[in-house]
């Protein structure tokens, strides 16, 4: 809602909050900066501030230290712990309190959480604020299940290398995935310096635009810097996730956007944190001009997950044509009066694109069928476990004479 509210204010706070904190600033009393402003560099906005409000008034008696609960954004998750950033810098926190058997609800990069700190300086994630959006993918064909890759992503930057002819089917897949994840896609043709002929570059841009209706397509070169400023300006608000095949130039682009200096500053600042951990925010990078970049390894190879609507949006041109098919359940295959096939015959719609649409829908349907069965079985098991646990607890209480 207030997405465009204050990119400038945001970038200012990024700089001041990033460089003026000194070691030991963790003791809340010495803080003069508005914590909300410091967190804005990591994508904090009124939406999350509202979600956090009930915790803010909570004096957190259960921490036993009198310390207030704080908001933090998750940078990376590993077994039982996560790296997160707070208004006062990076922390490492235990995640046992928010453990869940449902992989689509598991804590992930980009989540905003409620952090409790005990008297000894130990941090725990107490709760996860409701996600605005989530990127979920299918993991493997054997154990079909959704895995959250990134949460609260506003834009998806799809990097496609111009070192080879762009694979438009892959562009379509990523665009579907972006929409399915609730993010606005943006296609970036990287390594533009490798296509010196402007006419060829224009043609490649046009072909890509045709495969991604309603999506901005930009050409950039990290090598020459061409287009990087334009891209940075597009990313100033909200959180952007980097998607794209291996070798597409994502890391190079991230470096160009973040700037080498910024990364070095961050690295030295990481050592300010308590303990010996070498927390880096590599997966969650505040951009110097505003906005946050999420670059997690998991996002790099992608399968669809519950992406029906995403595919529909990525192929909005085909879905619009389909409204004119004679049969409302037309498969655009051999049906008479098919408006989609007519558009292909007229040359208005590339056949390649229709094939790609069908393929992605089929793939998604296959996954959905497999998962439904599995999820049902899992929920049943979970229910049985809880029931057994409930019985066990009651029996224990009785056994110890602790009848309520
Ligand atoms: N000519 C040219 N080469 C580039 C450009 N950007 C990246 N490259 C090269 O492309 C290769 C891959 O770049 P990376 O940034 O590592 O690609 P990536 O997408 O992060 O790859 P993964 O980490 O495997 O996912 C490297 O050899 C880069 O030097 C560019 O703008 N122009
Ligand atoms: Zn049809």
The percent of residues in the chain predicted with pLDDT above 70, rounded, is 69
Lowest mean pLDDT segment, chosen from 163-177, 361-375, 383-397: 383-397
Residues with CB under 6 A from ligand 1: 190-191, 193-194, 221-223, 244, 246-252, 300
Q: Could you say which ligand is closest to the alpha carbon of residue 323?
A: 2
Please count the other Cβ atoms lying within 10 Å of the Cβ belonging to residue 10: 24
Q: What's the token pair of residue 54?
A: 């009930």
Please, which pLDDT band fits residue 263 given cuts at 50, 70 and 90?
very low
Q: Where does the pLDDT of residue 373 fall: very low under 50, low under 70, confident under 90, or very high at 90 and above?
A: low
Q: What is the mean pLDDT of residues 200-211?
A: 95
Ligand closest in space to the Cα of 354:
2
Specify the domain boundaries for CATH 1.10.40.50 within the chain: 308-398
CATH of 7-128, one of 3.30.470.10, 2.40.50.140, 3.30.465.10, 1.10.3470.10: 2.40.50.140
Most confident of 16-20, 78-82, 320-324: 320-324
Range in 191-205, 345-359, 376-390 the model is least confident about: 376-390
Q: How far is CA 201 from CA 195, 212, 218, in A?
A: 6, 17, 11
d(CA 112, CA 129): 6
Q: How far is the CA of 351 from the centre of ligand 2 (A)?
A: 13
Residue to probe by mutation, ligand 1, list 163, 218, 252, most atoms within 8 Å of CB: 252
Q: Give the number of the atom of ligand 1 that is nearest the alpha carbon of residue 221.
A: 31
- Mean pLDDT of the chain, nearest integer: 78
Residues of the chain with CATH 3.40.50.300: 135-300
Fold of 135-300: Rossmann fold (3.40.50)
pLDDT at 277: 34
Q: How many A from CA of 84 to the centre of ligand 2?
A: 49
- Does domain 308-398 fall into CATH 3.20.20.120? no
Return the axis-axis angle of helices 250-258 and 260-270, rounded to nearest 10°: 80
3 state DSSP class of 237: coil
| Angle made by CA atoms 243, 248, 254, in degrees to the nearest 5 | 65
d(C-alpha 82, C-alpha 250), whole Å: 24
Supply the pLDDT for residue 251.
Answer: 86
Task: Compute, in angstroms, the gap from residue 322 CA to the centroid of ligand 2.
Answer: 5
pLDDT at 228 over 80: yes
Closest residue (by CA) to atom 14 of ligand 1?
249
All CATH 2.40.50.140 domain ranges of the chain, comma separated, are 7-128
pTM attached to this predicted model: 0.73
Which residues are CB-contacts of 145 (< 8 A; sequence separation ≥ 6)? 103, 104, 138, 139, 371, 374, 375
Q: Mean pLDDT over residues 330-338, rounded?
A: 92
Q: Which residue has the higher pLDDT, 313 or 300?
A: 313
Residue with tokens 């453990």: 99
pLDDT of 2 over the 70 cut: no
Mean pLDDT along residues 340-349: 95
Instruction: List residues, by chain if needed, whose CB lies under 5 Å from ion ligand 2.
Output: 325, 330, 332, 338, 340
Does pLDDT of 278 surpass 60? Answer: no
Q: How far, in Å, from the CA of 339 to the mean position of ligand 2? A: 5
Distance (Å, whole) CA 47 – CA 56 = 14
């Amino acid at each position: 809602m207030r997405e465009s509210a204050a990119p400038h204010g945001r970038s200012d706070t990024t700089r001041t909050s990033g460089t003026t904190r000194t070691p030991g600033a963790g003791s809340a009393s010495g803080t003069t900066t508005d914590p909300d402003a410091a967190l804005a560099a990591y994508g904090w906005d009124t939406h999350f501030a509202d979600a956090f409000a009930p915790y803010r008034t909570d004096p957190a008696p259960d921490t036993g230290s009198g310390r207030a609960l704080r908001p933090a954004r998750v940078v990376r998750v590993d077994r039982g712990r996560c790296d997160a950033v707070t208004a006062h810098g990076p922390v490492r926190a235990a995640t046992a309190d928010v453990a869940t058997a449902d992989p689509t609800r598991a804590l992930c990069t980009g989540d905003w959480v409620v952090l409790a700190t005990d008297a000894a300086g130990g941090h725990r994630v107490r709760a996860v604020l409701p996600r605005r959006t989530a990127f979920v993918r299918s993991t493997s064909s054997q154990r079909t299940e959704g895995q959250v890759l990134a949460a609260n992503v506003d834009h998806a930057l799809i990097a496609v290398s111009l070192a080879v002819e762009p694979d438009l089917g892959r562009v379509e897949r990523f665009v579907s995935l972006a929409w399915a994840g609730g993010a606005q896609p943006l296609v970036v043709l990287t390594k533009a310096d490798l296509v010196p002929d402007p006419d060829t570059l224009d043609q490649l841009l046009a072909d890509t635009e045709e495969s991604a209706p309603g999506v901005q397509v930009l050409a950039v070169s990290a090598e020459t810097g061409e287009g990087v400023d334009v891209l940075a300006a597009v990313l100033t608000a909200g959180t952007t996730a980097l998607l794209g095949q291996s070798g597409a130039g994502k890391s190079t682009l991230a470096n160009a956007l973040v700037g080498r200096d910024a990364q070095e500053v961050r690295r030295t600042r990481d050592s300010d944190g308590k303990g010996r951990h070498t927390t880096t925010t590599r997966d969650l990078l505040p951009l110097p001009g505003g906005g946050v970049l999420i670059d997690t390894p998991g996002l790099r190879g992608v399968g669809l997950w519950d992406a029906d609507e995403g595919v529909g949006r990525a192929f909005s041109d085909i879905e619009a044509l389909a409204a004119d098919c004679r049969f409302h359940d037309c498969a655009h295959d051999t049906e008479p009066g098919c408006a989609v096939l007519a558009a292909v015959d007229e040359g208005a719609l590339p056949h390649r694109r229709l094939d790609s649409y069908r393929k992605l829908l089929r793939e998604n349907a296959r996954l959905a069928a497999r998962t439904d069965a599995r999820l049902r079985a899992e929920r049943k098991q979970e229910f049985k476990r809880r029931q057994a646990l409930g019985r066990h607890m009651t029996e224990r209480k009785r056994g110890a004479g602790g009848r309520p």
